[in-house]
Amino acid sequence: MTDFFDKHHERLEQAIEAARTRAAWSPFNDSPSRKIHGDAVEKGLAAFQARLNQPFEIDQPGTIGRIGMEISPYTQEPLGISYPKVDVDVLYEAAREAIPAWRDAGARTRVGVCMEMAERLNKNSFECANAIMHTTGQSFPMAFAGGGPNAQERGLEAIVYAWQEMARVAESATWERAFGSTQVKMQKRYRLMPRGVALVIACATFPTWNAYPAIFANLAAGNAVIVKPHPLTILPMALAVEILRGTLRDAGLDPNLVTLVVDSSAEPIAKELVTRADTAIVDFTGSAHFGRWIEENARGKPVFTETSGVNSVVLDSTNDLKGLAQTLGMSLCLFSKQMCTSPQNVYIPRQGFRSNDSEISFDAVSETLVESINGLLSDNARAGGVLGAIQNENILHLVERAEELAPSRAKLLRESKPYAHPDFPNARTRTPVILGLDISDNDIYAREWFGPVIHFIAADSPEQALQQAASDAKQFGAINSYAYSTDEKFIERAQDAFGDAGANLSINMIGPMPLTYAAAFSDYHVSGLNPAGNATLTDASFVSGRFRIVQSRMAVP
């Protein structure tokens, strides 16, 4: 058997250093360019196409039928892939049985195997990107970068954090002190113990980015993992389960350490899985509503959630209105705003936004932003790369409900329309609707509109906007927040206000990097301080509770 730890040792050391300094470090290239990857691009597409209209076989125990009805947002046709429908009791038993040998293999072996898994996921990034594209609706470049290398690096990061926490625990100690006149000597042994079977519930729109860290943190700590994908987005997780099981088999370990449970929207089983006595850990990405249910009903189990929130942009002042409009316009459109980190509420000073030395009116600012977005989307090919497709029908209804707010409750600053995707004429598409609101319309904007719905909110002052945005973040959740200001004092106040609300803040970001981009080893994702989730990718608390320590001590005569 290959010593996977030795094989990946140099990468592990680099990753530890990156996590320490939080400087930029990427072992995997996130450009999908043919120049870099050669025929891997075509091979990945072919591999994806070969999956279509076929049963996806997983040789895991407890298969009692077939299930799965994914529909591509690009073709609006079924993928035609069926997955094993499982007897959950049988699956859990198999997972439980696999744990002792995995535990006894030790942290070093487990971490080596996990590092190998991450590398193998990376090698399959193109098949995975097509799977993500045709389930989530992401554009191909985003599905590749965000769902491939960026997600794999978040997984790697979790492995590295788990390794560091485990490596810090002494394996043994000799202990000696006097009691009265007698010297007592003991040999002590400390063992890392997994908690058991861990459940990882993945989301519909960005499945791998959150699931990989959860899966790897659990595995590295010695647990077995049962992956439950969203019923609309199964294939990316099935591919991962296949690769992880293959790695385990090649390492001479029980593949049932990683298994897949597929359910349907009609018969969801997440609640049943969360509350099972033998579910030891729960990771969840998805709606704030269900995340809260899990937090409240997991009853003492460790729970790690990443849900959603109301991400705001506060405009105070800038020296580069054009750059701002381009950068912000792009991030408002990206993946049709179907990301938990997308900005949604753009606060614009009612009396005018300072750009260089002039004051730009609310109307002029919003016009500039709308024009920037219109320019970005004027070409269908470019629109396809930016907006991608709409994941499901409910998001279309959300857009309709938003538009119905005008004219009585809102001003329609930009209408939502389908656009013609250059490659997929039948794609489910919508450009963003932009509503003009007043800061008093809190009942409308102070919740997540998951999809292409954007609010431009008139505020009396940047200060008022800041307080409102931070207060909404605290109360309703927010992952990211954004501010533009040339005033150092204002920037400091923004850092404090959003810091208190637990929403990460990006300041004066202009350029080609999407505002929503979060880099593994450098950007903490979700603070745990507001309702947008209780866990962070990745800090010590994301990994340290996934294993326990049991001790024995023996008298040394």
Q: What is the smallest separation between the CB atom of 301 and a second copy, expressed in angstroms? A: 9
519-548 mask for a second copy (x: CB under 8 A)? x--xxx--xxx----x-x--xxx--xx--x
Determine, following the binding rule CB under 8 A, whether residue 493 of this chain makes contact with a second copy. Answer: no
Nearer to a second copy, 21 or 440 (CB): 21
Q: Which tokens hold the place of 32?
A: 């999908």
Alpha-carbon distance 197 to 175, whole Å?
34
Only segment of 111-119, 177-185, 257-265, 348-356 that touches a second copy (CB under 8 A): 177-185
- Phi and psi torsions of 95, nearest 5°: -65, -45
Determine, following the binding rule CB under 8 A, whether residue 193 of this chain makes contact with a second copy. Answer: yes
| Biggest CA-to-CA distance, the chain | 88
3-class SS shares of the chain: helix, strand, coil, % to 5: 45, 20, 35
What string of H, E and C letters represents the secondary structure of 430-480?
CCCEEEEEECCCHHHHCCCCCCCEEEEEEECCHHHHHHHHHHHHHHHCCCE
Alpha-carbon distance 365 to 465, whole Å?
15
Q: What is the smallest separation between the CB atom of 449 and a second copy, expressed in angstroms? A: 24
Burial of 177 (0-12, 13-18, 19+ CB in 10 A): exposed
CB atoms near residue 438 (< 10 Å): 16
**Among candidate residues 218, 197, 192, 198, the one with its CA nearest the CA of residue 97:** 197
Only segment of 6-14, 162-170, 387-395, 449-457 that touches a second copy (CB under 8 A): 162-170
> Within 308-347, which residues bind a second copy (CB under 8 A)?
none
From the list 40, 47, 396, 509, which residue makes contact with a second copy (rule: CB under 8 A)? 509
Tokens 């989530």 locate to: 136
From the list 40, 120, 190, 447, which residue makes contact with a second copy (rule: CB under 8 A)? 190
Only segment of 247-255, 351-359, 419-427, 494-502 that touches a second copy (CB under 8 A): 494-502
Nearer to a second copy, 267 or 296 (CB): 296
The DSSP letter of residue 361 is: P
Nearer to a second copy, 49 or 297 (CB): 297
**Among candidate residues 445, 203, 443, the one with its CA nearest the CA of residue 344:** 445
Residues that contact a second copy, how many (by CB under 8 A) = 71
Nearer to a second copy, 461 or 475 (CB): 475
**Among candidate residues 466, 471, 518, the one with its CA nearest the CA of residue 494:** 466
> Within 18-57, which residues bind a second copy (CB under 8 A)?
20-24, 26
From the list 119, 157, 165, 316, which residue makes contact with a second copy (rule: CB under 8 A)? 165
CB atoms near residue 233 (< 10 Å): 24
Tokens 């490596």 locate to: 167
Nearer to a second copy, 300 or 425 (CB): 300
Nearer to a second copy, 48 or 209 (CB): 209
Q: What is the smallest separation between the CB atom of 124 and a second copy, expressed in angstroms? A: 24
> Within 242-281, which residues bind a second copy (CB under 8 A)?
none
Determine, following the binding rule CB under 8 A, whether residue 189 of this chain makes contact with a second copy. Answer: yes
Nearer to a second copy, 179 or 267 (CB): 179
> Within 76-115, which residues bind a second copy (CB under 8 A)?
none
